[in-house]
Structure 1
C-alpha cells in the first residue's frame, strides 16, 4: 500500500509500561520511539549518525492519548508534529504514535466493521483489492511526477501517515492486521459504495438505507451566533469512538515552503482512521466542514468504473482540502480534483471568518459542494441561510442538476416523497422544529429528536404505521422485526444516529465542540442496551459498553 515508503521495525525493547526502541526505514534512517502506555504518551525522535554516537535531533511527533471512552463515550487523541523537521518524518511519526497508543482500539474497531466483511462476497472483495492496488499504483506515479505541487504533496503525506499507523499498531502484542486491513478500514465507506459501482448489489444502497447523517447550519434569529451540528447515521458496530486533534505542521509543497493553512483540525472519528468518516471537522482557518451522504442511483454514471486511474479517494481529498484551503470556494476547488465518484456526499463548508455577531453573514459563509460520479456541483448558499435562518442536510441533493442526474426523480416516482428534497420526513421536521433552536442545548435536543410513534411526520405506509427511521436521529433498532415496510431503510435493523457534534462561532475559536455518543434516548425512547438487543449476537461490538447512556460533553484539549 505504501507510496515508496515501506518501513520495517527492529530492535524494539518492551518494558512494563514504557517502550524504547529504534525504527529503521529502508533508507537507513533511525527513529527512537518513547511510549508511556500508562500515561498515554508517545514521543517520536530521529537519530543521525547512529554508528558514530547517536546525535539526537529535535522531536518529530508527539501524541497524547486519553482512553476515556467508557466514561464519556469518547477517547481523546491529540497529535502534534514539529514544523522544523521534514514532512515525511512528521507524517510517519504522527501515524506511528497514534497506531502504537491506540492499537487495542484499532483491532476492536477493525473486528467490528471489517472482520466478516468479505464472507460470501469473495469475488467483490477481490475486485475491490484489484481496484485499490491499481489506484495506488497510479497515485504513486502521480506523486513521482508532481510531488512539488501542493495537492500531490499532501496526497503523499496522507498515505505516509497511514503507513505510520500500520507500523505503530503492528508493534503491539497479538496484532495481526495487514497494511491492506488499515487501508480498507480508512476507505470502508467508499468500498461499500463500490457494490453499486461494480454492479454487485441487487438492491440500491438508498433503498437499503445507506444514508449517513443529519446536519444543520443554524443562524440564530438575533444574529448572535452561528451554529453547526451533525449526527452520524450508521450501523451500531461503528460506536467505538474517538475525538481527535491533529496539529500537523506540514509544509504546503516542500520543506522550504510555508506551513499549510489548515495545520490544526479537530474532528470526530474512529480508531486507526485518518479521515473523520462522519464527517465533521473544525479547522484553525475558521472553516467548519461537514457532510451527509447523497449516493448515486444512476448506474450509467459508473460505466467503466473499474478503471482506477485519474481518481483520488473522496476521504483523502477532503483531508487535503482541509489542509490547503483558506475559505469555502478554495476548499471546493481543491476537492474537485480527481473525483472518484465514491462516498458521494453533500459537503457544507462554513466559513466562520465571514460571520460577525449582530451582522448578517457575508457571501461565502456557506458553500455547498455536491459530488456524484462525473460531476461536482459547487453552490453559494449563504443567501438561503439568511432567508430561511437555517440550512438543513439529510442525504438528498439540494441542486436540481445533481438531484436529477443521480436518479432521484425515478425514486420519487416509484416510492414517493420519502426521496424528495422538499417533502421528505427530515426536511419537514427540520423546517418545523428549527425555530425552537435558541441555544446549543436546544440544538442538541433537535439533533437527538425522535418521537416516531407520536410524530405525524414519522408515519409511513408501514405496519405499524410509523418508522423510527423517520426522525432527525434514527433508531431503526426500535422498529419491530415482524413489521412490514415498503423499503428496507424503514425496517428493523442495527442502524441509527450514533452521536451528535455541535460547534458555534465562539466554540470554533478554541476548536471546541459539544459532543455525545450513542443512540438517542429519552422519555419515549429506551437507552440502547446491547444485552437487551436482538442484535447482540449478530453484530460485533467488541470494546463497546453494554449500555449507551452517556451525557454530552464539551471537548477539552490538553496539547495547546
Structure 2
C-alpha cells in the first residue's frame, strides 16, 4: 500500500455538551477535508508562509449550538492550531515594540491598562444589551471568541510540549486585536496623557508626530460597463501599509452561523461567510479587506487609514468608551443585509480606528443595469434620449433604483463619521475609478481633518483610467504608487506596502476572481524576447538602472510586463513627494526587487521570527474546503 501524501494541512473539531463542556479532537493531517467531523466547530489550517507567504485557515461552526459556544469553540480551535505563529507575531510586534525603551514601556503600560479595563466594561455591557440588541450580541460574541483564542493558545503550546520563553497574557492578546486602534491611541497618549506635554504645550499648538504620516495603505475601486454587455464589472485592488515585522500573514475564512440574538430560534445573520486577510491571533483583518457572503449578501468591504492633522478632535471623545475597530467591523459585516445597514452599524462608537471605507454590493452589479437610464433630478443625460425615448419613465426609474446602494463610502475621524451612497458618483458621472490613499473623500471630513489635499491627493489620469480594464492593470498601477521604506537612504525604515490583494467581479458571468501577493511590493521584470533582443535589453536595463539608482521618488514598485518596453521607466522619473521630509528611491537595482531580511540586517534590527528571508512569492488564490 502506498503511504498517504500529506500537504501540511492540520484539522481539528470541537465538540460540546452542556454536561461535559468542550472537548477537542485533533485529526492531524487529513486528505479528505470534507469528511472532517463537524461538531460545534471544525478547523483546517496550513502554515505555508515559507511556500507562498501566506498561511491558510478555515473555521466553520454549526447553528444548532448556542452562539457563545460557537464563538468560544472557534477561538479555542484557532488558538490551538496557530499558537506558534501567534507567539511569533506577539514577539515580533507587541513584545519588541513595548520593550524598546522606557517611553515605549510607559506607553504600553498605559495601553494595557486601558484596553483591559475597556474589555471588562464592554464585555459586561455587551452581555447585558445583547439579549435584545443585535449589534451588541455580535460584540459579545467577538469577546467570547477572543477568550477562546487565549485558552486555545495555552492548550496548543502545552500540547506541543513547547517550552515558551514567556506566556502571552490576555492583555497582550487584546493589544494584538487592537492593532488598528493603537496608532490613534498613541496620538492621544502623547498629546493628552503625558504630563501636559511638559506643561508648556496648549491644545492650540498640538501637533501630531510626523511618523504617523508615513504613506498609508492604498486601494483602487473601479466600476464600469464594457461595450459588449450591459452588466457592470468591478475591479478592486488593495495594498496594506504596515511594519515589516508584522508580515506573518493568514488568509482566513470564518463561516460562523450566528443568530441575531442569543435565542437560537431567531434567524442566522446575513453575513455568515467572511473571508479576509489577517494575522495570527487577530479576529479581524487589521489591514481591512473582507469578502462577505451569506443569505442574499455578496459584498466586499475594504478600508485604508485616513489622514488627520486636527488633534483637537480628540477633545470631544472619551476613549474609555471605545470599542476595538475589529469588533465593530466584524459586527457590521455579519449584520448587514445591504450596504446602508453596514454603514449604519459602523457609525456606532466612532472613536478609534480613523479610516475611510468602501463597500460594494456585488448583487447589484446585475446584467439589467443600463448606464444611460439614470435620471439626474428631472433631466436625462444628453445622449440618453437616443436610447430611452420610447421607454416609459417609470421603467427608467425602476431600473435606476436597482443600482441604489451599490457602493457606499464611510469615513471616520475621532468622534466624527460621514457615510453616503455614492453610486451615482461612480457609474453615472464618468467617475468610474477611485484611488484611495487616506485623503478624505467627503468635504466635511476633509475640512475636519485639517489635511491639505495637495500634499497627499492623487487623481487617476484619463490615460491611467483607460488602461485599468483588468486585474493585471490594477496590479501594475498599485505597484507604481506603492511605498517601500527599506529603499530610503539614511532614513530607511522597515515599513511600507506589505501585500497586494486583487479582486474582480463580472456580473454577466456571475464570477469573481481573487488573488493576493505577500511581502513588500517590488519591481517585476519578465523577459520573453529572443536571445539577441534579451541581450540588448539587458544592456538598456543596466543603463537605466544606473540612472534610476540615484533618483528620489515615492514610486517604489513598478510592474513591467515586458522588459522590451522600457519606455515605462520614464514614468518613474516623474517627481512626486511622499511627504515633505521623505523622499524615496524609485528603484535601486532593476531585477533585484524582492525584499530580503538579510539585506536589512546591517541597517535595522527588527524582530522577524518565523519569516522567510526573501519575500519573492507568486500570487495565491485560496481554495476552501467548506
2:403 aligns to what SS in structure 1?
A: coil
Cα distance, 1:174 vs structure 2: 3.2
Determine the structure 2 residue equivalent to 1:532: 599
Q: 1:206 to 1:397 in 2, by over 3 A?
A: farther
Determine the structure 2 residue equivalent to 1:77: 57
Return the match for 2:180 from 189, 196, 207.
189
Structure number, greater radius of gyration: 2
Aligned mates of 1:429, 1:18 — CA distance in 2: 44
Return the match for 1:247 from 248, 255, 260.
255
- Is 1:113–1:238's contact at 8 Å kept on the other side of the alignment? yes
TM-score (norm. length: structure 2): 0.72
Which region of structure 1 is more displaced relative to structure 2, 135-144 or 313-322? 135-144
Cα distance, 1:67 vs structure 2: 1.6
Aligned mates of 1:390, 1:230 — CA distance in 2: 14
Return the match for 1:383 from 424, 443, 460.
424
Cα distance, 1:252 vs structure 2: 1.0
Q: 1:328 to 1:22 in 2, by over 3 A?
A: closer
Matched, 1:345 2:329: no
Determine the structure 2 residue equivalent to 1:459: none
Aligned mates of 2:31, 2:252 — CA distance in 1: 14
Map 1:9-28; keep pairs closer than 5 Å: none
- Is 2:317–2:414's contact at 8 Å kept on the other side of the alignment? no
- Is 2:407–2:421's contact at 8 Å kept on the other side of the alignment? yes
Matched, 1:405 2:416: no
TM-score (norm. length: structure 1): 0.80
2:343 aligns to what SS in structure 1?
A: helix
- Is 2:54–2:251's contact at 8 Å kept on the other side of the alignment? yes
- Is 1:40–1:64's contact at 8 Å kept on the other side of the alignment? no
Matched, 1:219 2:223: yes
Q: What RMSD over aligned residues (CA atoms) do the two structures have, in Å?
A: 3.0
Determine the structure 1 residue equivalent to 2:437: 394
Determine the structure 1 residue equivalent to 2:518: 517
Determine the structure 2 residue equivalent to 1:155: 139
Matched, 1:140 2:123: yes
Determine the structure 1 residue equivalent to 2:5: none
> Gaps spanning 5+ residues in structure 1: where?
1-16, 46-56, 450-471, 482-490
CA offsets, 1:160-219, max 9 Å, x none? Answer: 111111111111123511111211111022122211112359962565434531001112
2:39 aligns to what SS in structure 1?
A: strand
Aligned mates of 1:20, 1:303 — CA distance in 2: 48
Determine the structure 2 residue equivalent to 1:209: 213
Matched, 1:126 2:116: no
CA offsets, 1:527-548, max 9 Å, x none? Answer: 1111112467511111111111
Aligned mates of 1:191, 1:183 — CA distance in 2: 11
Q: 1:79 to 1:359 in 2, by over 3 A?
A: farther
- Is 1:512–1:556's contact at 8 Å kept on the other side of the alignment? no
Determine the structure 2 residue equivalent to 1:446: 477
Aligned mates of 2:10, 2:242 — CA distance in 1: 37
1:303 aligns to what SS in structure 2?
A: helix
2:122 aligns to what SS in structure 1?
A: helix
Cα distance, 1:478 vs structure 2: 0.9
Determine the structure 1 residue equivalent to 2:272: 263
Q: 1:317 to 1:260 in 2, by over 3 A?
A: same
Aligned mates of 1:558, 1:510 — CA distance in 2: 18
- Is 2:277–2:287's contact at 8 Å kept on the other side of the alignment? yes
CA offsets, 1:53-81, max 9 Å, x none? Answer: xxxx9711000112222111111100000
2:275 aligns to what SS in structure 1?
A: strand
Determine the structure 2 residue equivalent to 1:434: 465
**More helix per residue: 1 or 2?**
2
Cα distance, 1:447 vs structure 2: 2.1
- Is 1:206–1:295's contact at 8 Å kept on the other side of the alignment? no
1:260 aligns to what SS in structure 2?
A: coil
Aligned mates of 2:464, 2:216 — CA distance in 1: 21
Cα distance, 1:355 vs structure 2: 1.1
Determine the structure 2 residue equivalent to 1:543: 610
Aligned mates of 2:603, 2:23 — CA distance in 1: 43
Matched, 1:332 2:343: yes
Matched, 1:362 2:372: no
Return the match for 1:313 from 324, 340, 349.
324
Determine the structure 2 residue equivalent to 1:5: none
2:520 aligns to what SS in structure 1?
A: coil
Determine the structure 1 residue equivalent to 2:310: 298
Aligned mates of 1:248, 1:363 — CA distance in 2: 29
Q: 1:210 to 1:252 in 2, by over 3 A?
A: farther
Q: 1:315 to 1:79 in 2, by over 3 A?
A: same
- Is 1:282–1:289's contact at 8 Å kept on the other side of the alignment? yes
